[in-house]
Structure 1
Amino acid sequence: MTESNQNPTAVPVWEQRFRAPRVSLPEWAEEAPERSLFVSNATGTYELYAWDRATGIQRQVTDRPNGTTDGALPPDGRWIWWFADTDGDEFGVWMRQPFEGGADEPAVPGLGPSYPAGLALGRDGTVVVGRSTDEDGSTVHVVRPGRPEPVEIYRHRESAGVGDLSYDASLIAIEHTEHGDSMHASLRVVRAEDGSTVAELDDSKGGTQELGLSVWGFAPVAGDTRLLVGHQRRGRWEPLLWDVATGEETDLALELPGDVSAEWYPDGSGLLVAHDHEARSDLWRYEIGTGALVKVDTPVGSVSGATARPDGSVEYLWSSAARPAVLRSTAGGVVLEPPGPKAPGSVPVEDVWVEGPGGRIHALVQRPEAGEGPYPTVFEVHGGPAWHDSDSFAAGPAAWVDHGFAVVRVNYRGSTGYGREWTDALKHRVGLIELEDIAAVRAWAVDSGLADPQRLVLSGGSWGGYLTLLGLGTQPDDWSLGLAAVPVADYVTAYHDEMEALKALDRTLLGGSPEEVPERYEASSPLTYVDAVKAPVHISAGVNDPRCPIRQVENYVDRLAARGAVHEVYRYDAGHGSLVVEERIKQVRLDLDFVRRHLGVPSEVQGGNAAGAAADAPADGAPAGTPAEGR
């Protein structure tokens, strides 16, 4: 047992937040709702756990050096499915083991390794597996009861994936981008028996896909052929019901600002609606029969996941910037309590709106409890790019606050949650548009007295790491130091080495491949501006990363080294980030030390910022993730 486990107060507050055990929202088996599956870092690595609610018994399912987070339960709950890649490279096969425990076995013999592209498990034993490889593009395979060999029913070079399987396992909903725009999917429903088409839903206009569609789930009732679909026809995500047998569409125009998503209540009588608006989220129940919209009581902050149980109660994972995550139920109380010490809280977030070149920009600000501005300030840039920062708990920003920094997070153009036009605005001038918004918020931060212009850190991971390197080169006088984790550094090389789904995303964002639009890749590549970088830069990269591959990072580092630029590089044996808690702490510690040596900022404030510590709340702060389609 490590010292930190024996005496949690012997380590800095910021490390306690990362080490505190936490749990994900449990998935449950539809026909055996007492059987659940969740993710936890209780052993120091994020792994899958089985939970028998009837007996209270919890069991660790997976145990791998680089962790495991992708898992699923079939409706009967007999098996636990989990995705096995190699050293975090996201390329692998589905495995399974009995819910009660036992040996792992290949879940779908006959299918080789691939990147995952959706999985659906039927009540009758039907299995639908989505796959993506550089050689084959996107494929969908079906295994039917009594027929052990997987049958390919779909293939296309562009990105596609499994959306859902109908209640009776006869129909499969597929999201596809055959039109070539990987940001806006169309839908096709096919027969599981032979892959023949039943229905199509396509919002493209004149050959151009301008609006996106998303599969949110078939009705959970026998004989009901309605599919719950997300659409963007009014400029934001909203639900509609599409009867795939008759073609009838029922538009559910909910009077809620911002984006919504939804899932069925288990009896099919209503929808559980997750509403996201201006970096906060809440829950609603929509009654299908009457059209009534009833608020589900949750605190102000962010709901990162929710599910309706068979008894009508809702379980949800909630947090705020000040309060670590807690898994609660509308039936009352905490649903699942992780073992071990609780995470200290942090300071609340402030909302800032800044006028920018593309409209009002929303930023979230956290200030240290002690001292007055101007503060040394970290601009922590989110990844994605189709993602957004929210009023939710995150151990990384809290660590900077503990060390006397203000933290600013910008929901730049390209971020989700502010309407389709805002999300789609970054096309063709990729990276440069986001940095215009970040620059506008930077100017506000300096002019308002929040930020010390001589101690400004640009930092981010994944797409945020990309924007960090691009910003250091295109705005060299604006930043004192840069911290880039798993970044795109050389866009052309990244395109040629990355997984096929990201090639499709880059073609969508930039309007073609590097050979078709070389000038756009050059304009958007950090490597183009590397000789202009003035600030010291620290780069961390996973050597098995399929999204931001290591070769293109090395190309950038070689250019820094050739001109004697101040830089350090940390390479670690994992993929696009790490699921090992101590590895994540090591990376934050390296960043803090790099900043201390090159910026001269103080050490951690005595005692840290423990405001809002919750005795009954597990900590959030798992490694930053990104949507499967992005970085």
Structure 2
Amino acid sequence: MHTPTSGAYRQPPAGWQDRRVTAKPDTQYPPATVPDRLFDDPAVEARWQARFDAARVSVPDWALDAPDANLYVSNASGVWEVYAWNRATGTHRQVTDRPNGTMHATTSPDGEWIWWFDDTDGDEFGSWVREPFAGGGTAEPALRDVHAGYPAGLEIGHRLTAIGVSTDAGSALFTSVDGRTERFYSSEDDAGIAALSRDETLLAIAHSEHGDSRHPAIRVLATDGFATVADKWDGEGKGLHALEFAPVAGDPRLLVLHERRGREELLVWDAATGEETELRLDLPGEVVAGWYPDASALLVVHFHRGRSSLHRYDLVRGELTALETPPGRIGGAGVRPDGSVEYSWSDAATPPAVRTRDADGADSVLLEAPGERAPASSPLTDAFVDGLGGEIHALVARPADAPDGPLPTVFTLHGGPHAADEDRFSAYRAVWLDAGFAVVEVNYRGSTGYGSAWRDAIEGRPGLTELEDVAAVHDWAVSSGLSDPDRCVVNGASWGGYLSLLALGTQPGRWAAGVSGVPVADYVAAYEDEMEQLRSFDRALFGGAPEDVPAVYSECSPITYVDAVTVPVLVLAGDNDPRCPIRQIENYLDRLAARDVPFEFYRYDAGHGSLVIAETIRQTAIEVSFAMRAVGIA
């Protein structure tokens, strides 16, 4: 129903719950300092926390044949949970209430049921459950004959449901018709449910039988026996992503993302006849899209240089029309049955809002969370820096009241790596500015939105390639007078946490301190503890398994360079993290503990990050306080 705007790299390792390595009970690391407050000024202290505490809502999704039945996620309770909105009555209710939050939910097409994914303590391993949209019932297993695992796609129809599950044994795809569930596909390679046609006769799946899960292929199956109707693979290094079938019964057209010309573009593929139409839009950067309800047009989200915009593409006339929005980030969008477009928008200075644009172009706020809006922050500027692999785009923010002269600077490296920093509102960025740091966000090689070659340039040398770009931007920041070379901090989470640890060991002269959240710290151990699907991703990224290319894994692993780390290090990790497991982090910390290096460790009872706002505030305070002490900010 809605067009996605970004992706992620480290998919949770299937089977992790079966092979989880618990934390060492007898190992003690220096605990992180939890400050009572970050700022002496009560107004500043209240302001930074208010940005996190302010309630936010996602763009609502609605049932295919009951558009008054809507779902969204919100942090209004202090934890990100699922909410139901009945537009006919105007009523809202909180659906889920779990200690570590809930983010994944959808409705049945008739609007009668809410499906949400039930995991344990943020470990992302579990099963889909369902409960009545109207409330008054308890959650029950959605499909009793499907085993638990990590979610690998879900499509709910009126008569047929398709569900994907990933475990240590591989990928298993199921359908359920009239209460009878059967597995129709299984593979050791990564696979998932991608799209179901409106009449439920065709099912598209993503697969990597060719051995490269980073560049998947598409297969369309007939649901009355699972015979292959059509296969599509563009060859080595060219992925295909099925977005959705046309939302009209009997229409077999599938909207697909391809990268035949070195960037992600759109094509419409008739799965019945094999005819395809590439849509060559006159837009720089990359796009993603979804259908208008009558299948005559597409809603296109365009991404270029850290900013996104909305367009309508008329498939009959071949015309592209901009749906004017200010520069910033579109955080999801969809087209209602009446032709209105609902979307989320923000920029670095402006908190997000869910807005609606009617068919005549009138734009207004659609959905507001309760309470006060988040306090505003500072805008971003762009930097374009020459690097070894080409021009590097960075987003830069300065504190509003910053003095002249070089500033302490935090280089915040995004996760993924297949993601990108954007001109969007961030309470996290804002608190660094409140603390007196300039903030530099680098869309290094490996980032999305800058073409396939830029995204895939890290293959065979991940980590070190990205850090060449970070170093070039660091050189620019110092030479331009923005950054004090003696007070630069490298910081990130997930892939960004991996890069931060790797930077501390391979670029020791650049950094005064490092902050690393949920990182890969010991890549060989991480590979040992993850599932086959994630291993296959890493094999494609590194050029093989550790036993095949041991030198590459060694060269690109932070633990290889731990003896070169001399500055303060803060590491944060979740005990239940299925993506960056705890054992390999402890291996790195053991090596730090054996040396006279100042470091602190914060362990929390959740997974790959936290959906609890109080915990997010706590971790942010730990990080910023640590960096302030490291660079001498009072």
Q: Under a length normalisation based on structure 2, what TM-score does the superposition of the two structures give?
A: 0.91
1:328 to 355, 365, 374: 355
> Matched residue of 1:90: which SS?
coil
Aligned 8 A contact 1:488 1:548 in 2? yes
Shift of 1:477: 0.9
Shift of 1:12: 2.5
Aligned 8 A contact 1:458 1:481 in 2? yes
Equivalent position amino acid for 2:281 in 1? L
In the alignment, the residues of structure 2 paired with residue 466 and residue 100 of structure 1 have an alpha-carbon distance, to the nearest angstrom, of 44
1:476-625 pair list within 5 angstroms: 476-602=508-634
1:83 to 117, 133, 138: 117
User: Where does residue 154 of structure 2 map in the other structure?
Assistant: 119
Equivalent position amino acid for 1:568 in 2? E
2:280 to 237, 240, 253: 253
**Once structures 1 and 2 are overlaid, which stretch shifts more, 174-183 or 80-89?**
174-183
Aligned 8 A contact 2:494 2:519 in 1? yes
In the alignment, the residues of structure 2 paired with residue 150 and residue 578 of structure 1 have an alpha-carbon distance, to the nearest angstrom, of 34
1:333-376 alpha-carbon deviations (Å, 9 max, x no partner): 21111001210111100000000000000000000111123000
1:181 to 206, 212, 227: 212
In the alignment, the residues of structure 2 paired with residue 363 and residue 243 of structure 1 have an alpha-carbon distance, to the nearest angstrom, of 40
1:312 to 339, 363, 366: 339
1:232-631 pair list within 5 angstroms: 232-331=259-358, 332-370=363-401, 371-602=403-634
> Matched residue of 1:578: which SS?
coil
Shift of 1:192: 1.8
User: Where does residue 17 of structure 1 map in the other structure?
Assistant: 51
Aligned 8 A contact 1:187 1:213 in 2? yes
Equivalent position amino acid for 2:244 in 1? G
In the alignment, the residues of structure 2 paired with residue 302 and residue 103 of structure 1 have an alpha-carbon distance, to the nearest angstrom, of 37
User: Where does residue 621 of structure 1 map in the other structure?
Assistant: none
Equivalent position amino acid for 1:477 in 2? G
Equivalent position amino acid for 1:94 in 2? W
User: Where does residue 46 of structure 1 map in the other structure?
Assistant: 80
Shift of 1:297: 1.7
Query: What is the count of residue pairs matched by the alignment?
Result: 587
1:171-216 alpha-carbon deviations (Å, 9 max, x no partner): 1101111111111111000122222211001101xxxx22111111
In the alignment, the residues of structure 1 paired with residue 181 and residue 445 of structure 2 have an alpha-carbon distance, to the nearest angstrom, of 42
Equivalent position amino acid for 2:152 in 1? A
> Matched residue of 2:364: which SS?
coil
Equivalent position amino acid for 2:331 in 1? S
Shift of 1:11: 4.5
Aligned 8 A contact 1:165 1:171 in 2? yes
User: Where does residue 11 of structure 2 map in the other structure?
Assistant: none
In the alignment, the residues of structure 2 paired with residue 501 and residue 339 of structure 1 have an alpha-carbon distance, to the nearest angstrom, of 41
Equivalent position amino acid for 2:382 in 1? D
User: Where does residue 202 of structure 1 map in the other structure?
Assistant: 233
Shift of 1:564: 2.2
> Matched residue of 1:515: which SS?
coil
Shift of 1:517: 1.2
1:158 to 182, 189, 193: 189
**Once structures 1 and 2 are overlaid, which stretch shifts more, 518-527 or 9-18?**
9-18
In the alignment, the residues of structure 1 paired with residue 311 and residue 463 of structure 2 have an alpha-carbon distance, to the nearest angstrom, of 36
Equivalent position amino acid for 1:186 in 2? A
In the alignment, the residues of structure 1 paired with residue 455 and residue 597 of structure 2 have an alpha-carbon distance, to the nearest angstrom, of 35
In the alignment, the residues of structure 2 paired with residue 236 and residue 76 of structure 1 have an alpha-carbon distance, to the nearest angstrom, of 37
In the alignment, the residues of structure 1 paired with residue 225 and residue 413 of structure 2 have an alpha-carbon distance, to the nearest angstrom, of 46
In the alignment, the residues of structure 2 paired with residue 181 and residue 112 of structure 1 have an alpha-carbon distance, to the nearest angstrom, of 26
Shift of 1:496: 1.3
In the alignment, the residues of structure 1 paired with residue 187 and residue 263 of structure 2 have an alpha-carbon distance, to the nearest angstrom, of 28
> Matched residue of 1:334: which SS?
strand
In the alignment, the residues of structure 1 paired with residue 628 and residue 323 of structure 2 have an alpha-carbon distance, to the nearest angstrom, of 45
> Matched residue of 2:366: which SS?
coil
Structure with more relative contact order (C-alpha pairs < 8 Å, separation 6 or more): 2
Is 1:107 the counterpart of 2:138? The answer is no
In the alignment, the residues of structure 1 paired with residue 388 and residue 625 of structure 2 have an alpha-carbon distance, to the nearest angstrom, of 35
User: Where does residue 629 of structure 1 map in the other structure?
Assistant: none
> Matched residue of 2:350: which SS?
coil
Aligned 8 A contact 2:408 2:483 in 1? yes
1:141 to 174, 196, 201: 174
In the alignment, the residues of structure 1 paired with residue 51 and residue 159 of structure 2 have an alpha-carbon distance, to the nearest angstrom, of 41
Distance 1:202 1:10, change over 3 A: closer
Shift of 1:10: 8.8
Shift of 1:399: 0.6
In the alignment, the residues of structure 2 paired with residue 226 and residue 398 of structure 1 have an alpha-carbon distance, to the nearest angstrom, of 44
1:227 to 231, 248, 254: 254
Aligned 8 A contact 1:477 1:534 in 2? no
User: Where does residue 60 of structure 2 map in the other structure?
Assistant: 26
Q: Under a length normalisation based on structure 1, what TM-score does the superposition of the two structures give?
A: 0.92
In the alignment, the residues of structure 2 paired with residue 238 and residue 596 of structure 1 have an alpha-carbon distance, to the nearest angstrom, of 43
Equivalent position amino acid for 1:46 in 2? W
Aligned 8 A contact 2:435 2:628 in 1? no
In the alignment, the residues of structure 1 paired with residue 404 and residue 216 of structure 2 have an alpha-carbon distance, to the nearest angstrom, of 48
Equivalent position amino acid for 1:173 in 2? A
Shift of 1:498: 2.2
Mark the runs of 5 or more structure 1 residues left unpaired by the alignment.
Answer: 1-7, 603-631
1:151-170 alpha-carbon deviations (Å, 9 max, x no partner): 11111111111111111111
Shift of 1:14: 1.2
In the alignment, the residues of structure 2 paired with residue 466 and residue 149 of structure 1 have an alpha-carbon distance, to the nearest angstrom, of 44
1:560-601 alpha-carbon deviations (Å, 9 max, x no partner): 001121100000000000000000000011112212332211
Is 1:36 the counterpart of 2:70? The answer is yes
Aligned 8 A contact 2:220 2:271 in 1? yes
Is 1:172 the counterpart of 2:203? The answer is yes
Aligned 8 A contact 1:109 1:149 in 2? no
Equivalent position amino acid for 2:147 in 1? G
Aligned 8 A contact 1:543 1:571 in 2? yes
Aligned 8 A contact 1:415 1:423 in 2? yes
In the alignment, the residues of structure 2 paired with residue 448 and residue 34 of structure 1 have an alpha-carbon distance, to the nearest angstrom, of 54
Aligned 8 A contact 2:308 2:330 in 1? yes
In the alignment, the residues of structure 1 paired with residue 63 and residue 248 of structure 2 have an alpha-carbon distance, to the nearest angstrom, of 15
Is 1:130 the counterpart of 2:164? The answer is yes
In the alignment, the residues of structure 2 paired with residue 441 and residue 297 of structure 1 have an alpha-carbon distance, to the nearest angstrom, of 32
In the alignment, the residues of structure 2 paired with residue 27 and residue 268 of structure 1 have an alpha-carbon distance, to the nearest angstrom, of 18
In the alignment, the residues of structure 2 paired with residue 154 and residue 291 of structure 1 have an alpha-carbon distance, to the nearest angstrom, of 38
Aligned 8 A contact 1:51 1:58 in 2? yes
